[in-house]
């Protein structure tokens, strides 16, 4: 999706690029926290110790759901502009 966004941007399709970039950002944010959570779970209590270094990544992985644009605002964008649904706010 990121490559699609880059390709659309290069071709001058600003709307298509924004749509794809939003989708890529949403998926990346979800994947980051889901994979880190699974890694912690795999190591059990050890996953939260300093030695594994996973707990230290929690803030960095979690912030991708909020900044620079929150996942809710991405879903708002996709629902309104891609799916043609009424603006929800």
Instruction: Identify the residue whose tokens are 């644009």.
Output: 69
Using CB atoms within 10 Å of the CB of residue 54, give its burial: 0 to 12 exposed, 13 to 18 middle, 19+ buried: buried
Instruction: Give CA–CA dist 52/5, Å, rounded.
Output: 35
What's the closest the beta carbon of residue 76 comes to ligand FAD, in angstroms?
Answer: 5
Q: Which of 15, 49, 60, 72 binds ligand FAD (CB under 6 A)?
A: 72
79 binds ligand FAD (CB under 6 A): no
89 binds ligand FAD (CB under 6 A): yes
* Residue numbers at the binding site for ligand FAD (CB under 6 A): 63, 66-70, 72-73, 76, 89
């Amino acid at each position: 999706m990121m490559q699609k966004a880059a390709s659309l941007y290069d071709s001058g399709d600003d709307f298509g690029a924004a749509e794809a970039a939003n989708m890529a950002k949403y998926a990346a944010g979800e994947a980051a926290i889901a994979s880190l959570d699974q890694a912690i779970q795999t190591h059990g209590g050890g996953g939260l110790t300093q030695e594994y270094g996973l707990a230290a990544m929690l803030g960095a992985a979690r912030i991708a759901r909020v900044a620079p644009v929150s996942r809710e605002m991405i879903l708002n964008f996709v629902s309104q502009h891609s799916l043609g649904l009424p603006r929800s706010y």
